[in-house]
A and B are shown apart, each in its own frame.
Chain A
Amino acid sequence: MIQAAGTHTDAVSLTVFVVFFLAVTVIGFFAARWRRADDALHLDEWGLGGRGFGTVVSWFLLGGDLYTAYTFIAVPALVYGVGAAGFYAVPYTIIAWPLVFLFLPRLWSVARSKGYVTLADFARGRYGSRYLALAVALTGILATMPYIALQLVGIQAVLDTMGVGGSSGFAKDLPLLIAFAVLAAYTYSSGLRAPALIAFVKDTLVYIVVIVAVIYIPIRLGGYGHIFHDAATALAQKNPATGKARGSLVSGPKAQWAYATLALGSAMALFMYPHSATGVLASKDRNTVRRNLAIMPAYSLMLGLLSLLGFMALSAGIGKGVKGYNAQLAVPQLFQQMFPSWFAGVAFAAIGIGALVPAAIMSIAAANLFTRNVYREFVRPAATPAQETRVAKIVSLVVKLGALGFVLGIDKQFSINLQLLGGIWILQTFPAIVGGLFGWGKHSSRWFHRWALLAGWAAGMAYGTYMAYGVTAAGKPHSHFGGSAANIPVIGQIGYIGVTAFVLNLAVAVVLTLVLRLAKTPDTPDETTPADYLLEDTPLAAPRTPEVAALP
């Protein structure tokens, strides 16, 4: 019965799904008229929604942005696959909020004060280095591309479960192509306002589905005690290829370093991603940012409950005995098996729309980076705001097409591996950004030297990529990029490669900064002042487009 899932189309589920999809499409196009500004051609309008989102909109936007469809699919899928080790996503999202509480208000203030649209803009202004900014921008774009591709993987899992699409090549991909064309069109016309409005629908649906799922499914399966008992049995089964148990219900002594470093590294990386920064910079004022960080944990709770679905899928026997079962299908198939058709349709819509919101914001963020830190910096320094906006809109289309090509043309596993690598990469921009947000000494000046940061970044990127290349997938001895944990030198435990690379990065940056100081290397000007980091709301006579001074 379960194996047959996905081979026939459930008309009720599909109808509900399509109705929701059409509704958000209308909202997406309507968003262009929402709070329209006088100067609609400014990049602040298209790329940051006019920088005017209040607490409620920002909360939905950030939640819709960070807790993606892929998260809904992949986190329970990981728990389904290995048990406790997959639960690291919960401590990760818990510690992320107190961590970013320390520096995001300062980031918001300096960005508003100086008109920065991207994190790379900040690196450029703080350190006076266009090359450091380029490094931050390219890392951001590289890390975002596979992330967008994974949103498509999320939609695909839902479409597969509903049995949508023909069996042959083109007909099979057609629903995905349609969904993406619609997404691209309203992102192009409405910019960040589209995902901001759609996020309301997405998050409302997700909360309803999760609450119903964690109450209704355990009742049907005989309670949590029963679920965990079944899950323990399933996880204890040995993999014939490796002879090891599939997973465990608690993190064993050898897995605890990996658990903790994955949680910490992911939390540090979270707001280095361009789409997260875009969500924060679109807030109206500094207090909105702070207040939001204090109420964001509601999403962490949802994610925690959601990951329990992995155990429910084990208990319900989803995918049991299927050779080479795709764990990504565990949650959609659990919904299909447990819920009445109409509610399964609602759940599928939640996941599908959950893919559209982050995909839109990610493509906008990548487009902002390209436009500000590559196009305007290196191609056309005299670009007007209207030209910037036009370039950004076109780039957002190109980025999405690239992601689509990834999913349709290349092995899906490749985009998952690349996304893991992207997390390691994006963490390497942490010293430049967070190090730059804090002032040192009497004048609150930057501490790191720009060349030292660039060298540290390069060292972290190279080490992280090399180590990840050496990780083999379970049961495939000659594969590469099979995971993101490896032996930590000196400590001798298995840990997240991103954190090891980050420590190396930081060490290089600190040592080289000291050396360059001693050598009295000439420094470039810092365009920020201590007051910029404390700005509470929009300055009365702020220059909307700061003049671009030529940099060496």
Chain B
Amino acid sequence: MAESAPPPGPSSTPLPVITPTRIVCAILLAAPFVALLWVNSYAALTPAFIGIPFFYWYQLMWVVLSAVLTGISYLLIRREEAARKAQSAELTGDAR
């Protein structure tokens, strides 16, 4: 997300646009795309789980995995945005 950084102050270095948190989030959010759009990686009948062929239970498993990954991204981004906002407020002296 190309969000603009807060205006640079003379005494403090603002958080850059690309931070480790954002890179981690990008990987977490990209993982389901790679896993599911690469259809050949899971186009198989076996191993089956309680009688459900691999093709189906693997994709159903990704529903849960993807939810967990998106949830972690949500928490990480929320934490960093709080830090960003605190810094922005400090720099501009504005509470909002």
Contact = CB atoms under 8 A, between A and B. Distances in A.
Interface of A: 84, 87, 90-91, 93-95, 97-99, 101-102, 106, 223-228, 249-253, 256, 259-260, 263-264, 287, 290-291, 293-295, 297-298, 300-301, 304-305, 308, 438-440, 442-444, 530, 533-534
Contacts of A308: 52, 56
Contacts of B30: 98
B59 A223 contact: no
Interface string B46-79: 0010111101100110111011011101100110
A102 B29 contact: yes
A251 B51 contact: no
A94 B59 contact: yes
A290 B78 contact: yes
A228 B36 contact: no
B39 A228 contact: no
B51 A290 contact: no
A101 B63 contact: no
B24 interface: no
Nearest to A303: B63
Given A97-B67, A444-B4, 18 more contacts: A91-B59, A91-B62, A93-B63, A94-B63, A94-B66, A98-B33, A98-B66, A98-B69, A101-B70, A224-B52, A228-B53, A251-B43, A294-B71, A297-B63, A301-B63, A304-B63, A438-B2, A533-B3
Given A250-B45, A294-B70, A300 B63 contact: yes
A526 B29 CA distance: 30
Nearest to B40: A256
B32 to A, nearest CB: 5
Contacts of A228: 48, 51-53
B1 interface: yes
B78 A260 contact: no
Given A102-B29, A256-B40, A249 B53 contact: yes
B37 interface: yes
A249 B55 contact: yes
Contacts of B73: 98, 101, 294
B77 A224 contact: no
Given A98-B69, A250-B45, A264 B37 contact: yes
B56 A225 contact: no
Contacts of B55: 84, 87, 249-251
Residue picked from B51, B63, B66, most chain A C-beta under 10 Å? B63
Contacts of A295: 67, 71
Contacts of A227: 51
A91 B36 contact: yes
Given A84-B55, A98-B33, A530-B4, A291 B74 contact: yes
12 contacts: A98-B28, A225-B48, A225-B51, A259-B39, A263-B37, A264-B33, A294-B67, A294-B74, A295-B71, A297-B67, A444-B2, A444-B4
Interface residues of B, number: 38
B38 to A, nearest CB: 8
B66 A95 contact: yes
A223 B52 CA distance: 9
B2 A439 contact: yes
B44 interface: yes
B53 A250 contact: yes
Contacts of A97: 66-67, 70
Contacts of B29: 98-99, 101-102
A325 to B, nearest CB: 24
B43 to A, nearest CB: 5
Contacts of A99: 29, 33
Nearest to A83: B55
Contacts of A93: 63
Contacts of A250: 43-45, 53, 55
B58 to A, nearest CB: 10
A295 B70 CA distance: 9
A466 to B, nearest CB: 26
Nearest to A98: B29
Point out which of A226, A439, A534 has the most chain B C-beta atoms below 10 A from its C-beta: A534
Contacts of B66: 94-95, 97-98, 297, 300
Nearest to B74: A294
